[in-house]
Amino acid sequence: MTIIFHKNSRVFHLTNGKISYIMRVMENEQLESIYFGKCLNDRDGFEYQHEAVSRSHAAIALPEPSVLSMQYTAQEYPFAGTGDYRSPACTVLQENGSRISNFRYVSFDIELGKPLPEGLPATYCEESEEAETLIIHLKDDISETELHLFYTIFRDHPAIARHAEFVQNGSQAVYLERALSACVEFKDCDFEMLQLSGAWARERYIRKRPLEYGMQAVSSMTGTASSAEENPFIALKRKETTENQGEVWGFSLIYSGNFLAAAEVSTFDMTRVLIGINPESFTWKLMQGNTFATPEAVMVYSDQGLGTMSRVYHKLYRSRLVRGYWRDRPRPILLNNWEGTYFDFNEQKILSMALDARNLGVELFVLDDGWFGRRNTDRDSLGDWYCNRNKIPSGIDGLAEKIEAMGIRFGLWIEPEMVNEDSDFYRAHPDWVIHVPERYRSHSRHQYVLDFSRKEVVDCIHGIIRKILSEAKISYIKWDMNRYMTEPYSIALPADRQGEMMHRYILGVYDLYEKLTGEFPEILFESCASGGARFDPGMLYYAPQAWCSDDTDAWERCKIQYGTSMVYPLSAIGSHVSTVPNHQLARVTPLRTRANIAYFGTFGYELVIGNMSAEEKDAVRRQIAFMKKYRELIQTGSDLYRLRSPFEHNEAEWIVVSKDRKKALALFCQKSNRVNGSWLRMKLDGLEPSFMYRVFAFIDEGPREFTAYGDELMKIGIAIDRVDLTVMGGDYVSILYEIEAVSCADATPAQI
């Protein structure tokens, strides 16, 4: 790992033996993007990669005889108005109304380790030797605004983390109208763009499209969340790239609010990737002495397909984004009462559910919505965070004590950012909700969004939640957020700072998370946002797992979890077994399949065990025992390989393999049964070719066991018997394969 500066050519080369990132200071003192990709040999001479030629309509950046035009130059952090007619990374409005900037190179610093942007989530180092950071300092002399570009290259990952910071030194204020986190340019456009798109109950579906001239983008304007509709991630892949081969570049934003991720192709086939805070409705006023930091973007390169890119993100986010007590610990198996009772429960019913769960091996009982105020529907009491003693006479502290006495832990649902109009909290603080005076206040789910851009609001909610957590034995918090922002306006901000409101809101959410996770470090926080609307890297910094989707149907979860795994580790994916008919689709799927898919996440249940048959209870007991045996492998000690996509096939297949390649767990699941269908083979991946493995297949008509070398399992595969699938039920059936090395002589696991 090293960052090299060639003084004569003014070229920077960041490399770690896996990747190279190369840029240079041009003659006009701006930064040119030269290369991002597979590791290159270093040399003093990369500046010759610059191409300059006189073209029609070109605005020339320097006096003659220069032909340097920014429109035809790949740039590191382009700004508006000086001859580049593509989208800029930043736009700075000055007091005279001008939006013209000229950030010129001043100097650079190289630091061991990784500085963190203040108040924002970001990847981190535990030892300074894990990473090296380049900070390039630029300045606009007219406005006296400084721009600092941060580049961190990791020792163990083919990844670079980037963010930007603006510092205003001049006496006149400036307004940031666009302040993106990163820009990367490519000299061609031979890419497909991959994105994770959807909606409530079908989050993070994989979508692909070839790049064309113009702008291709995904974005969010929801204010409170990165959104269920789009995820703050895109990848550019070559058209021939698959899971296992070919080039791909990933771009992931560590942020939970409005974002933009775009690929803009010029008519000269240049591709510009931009990612950061959505410029729409954003401005930030910088007074003298003020600093603004953008969220961090993490860029990953792989020349071995999408699967390798994903495993880089998984390892980096699992070990150097997630923090604290639960980072490396297997997650407790839980029962959540929501789909079992909704609002219709009392203390005795909850205790009975907890006892039934304990008797089958569940480790954590979670009380969901409906425990506070007068809450019996979603129309009232949000914000009244005191126990409804009519439902729970013992109070939350007493209920937690009773459940702990059973030998399992207790968890609680909250939605601290929201309030119902019919609540004591709203009546006491009607102006604390986000609204525009004298205009209609849109509601959603009969609730309003508290103005977390205001410190006094965050501090008040902090005091209320801290009191609950201090007085009861609570081991887990499900932090929900069930609506997007409308009428974004804060009565606490002046007119010229209203564009800061939505970013300040997210900073307020982060601030509350930071306070509570710091004060209660052993509580497991799970983020939730009407399902998976906040499944983003920003949340993982505070809450090590996230509720993946409100849709718990087995086949839908195949797709949702498959898409989610493109960026996020299995340890982050909240996955439960729910009852059938499924509450979202009314679909009936086998209990075995529901569990087999839920294993590949945090695992839990969302049903009434007391309503199950003795046979079903026995199955649940075995499932819980199985998950306890394998959860460390699944959540913290393995690599995921996607084998067959449910977006493209009738089947879904994947495998997790231990780091030493001696253990693995593979899943086969089919959607619809086929009459007289063709042969089915599941080709595995990630195994050591020279290891002999014992394969144990869990099939209804009797477990199957056989042995085979790793190369055979990967090149020929496992034969799937369609008769077995029919006997097991046909539609939505699944088979789990337990794989363990029985002979490892003279073999060295390959490096991933």
Catalytic residues: 480, 550
Q: What is the largest CA-CA distance in the chain?
A: 87
Within 10 angstroms of residue 48's Cβ, the number of other Cβ atoms is 9
Asked if residues 195 and 218 have their Cβ atoms less than 8 Å apart, the reply is yes
738 pairs with which residues across the strands?
665, 696
Query: CA-CA distance, 190 to 351, in Å (whole number)?
Result: 59
Asked if residues 566 and 346 have their Cβ atoms less than 8 Å apart, the reply is no
Query: CA-CA distance, 661 to 638, in Å (whole number)?
Result: 9
b/e string for 10-24 if b means 16 or more Cβ within 10 A? bbbbbbbebbbbbbb
CB under 8 Å, gap of 24 or more: what pairs does 77-86 form?
77/31, 77/103, 77/138, 77/147, 77/149, 77/164, 77/183, 78/183, 78/272, 79/103, 80/178, 83/58, 83/59, 86/264, 86/266, 86/272
Tokens of 14: 């960041």
Tokens of 716: 């020929």
Report CA-CA distances (Å) from 722 to 381, 489, 642, 727: 53, 59, 22, 9
Asked if residues 703 and 738 have their Cβ atoms less than 8 Å apart, the reply is no
Within 10 angstroms of residue 124's Cβ, the number of other Cβ atoms is 18
Query: CA-CA distance, 104 to 288, in Å (whole number)?
Result: 20
DSSP 3-state of 372: strand
Closest alpha carbon to 119 in 153, 169, 163, 161? 163
Closest alpha carbon to 76 in 139, 24, 122? 24
DSSP 3-state of 334: strand
- CA 698, 701, 706: angle at the middle one, nearest 5? 50
DSSP assignment of 302-316: ESBHHHHHHHHHHHH
Asked if residues 733 and 725 have their Cβ atoms less than 8 Å apart, the reply is yes
Query: CA-CA distance, 729 to 528, in Å (whole number)?
Result: 34
DSSP assignment of 555-609: HHHHHHHHHHTTTS-GGGEE-EEE-SS-TTT-----HHHHHHHHTSSS-EEES-G
Tokens of 464: 């209320």
Task: Please give the single-letter amino acid code of residue 737.
Answer: Y
Closest alpha carbon to 510 in 295, 312, 693, 679? 295
Q: Which residues contact 169 (CB under 8 A, 6 or more apart)?
A: 144, 145, 146, 288, 289
Q: What are phi and psi for residue 317, nearest 5 degrees?
A: -70, -35
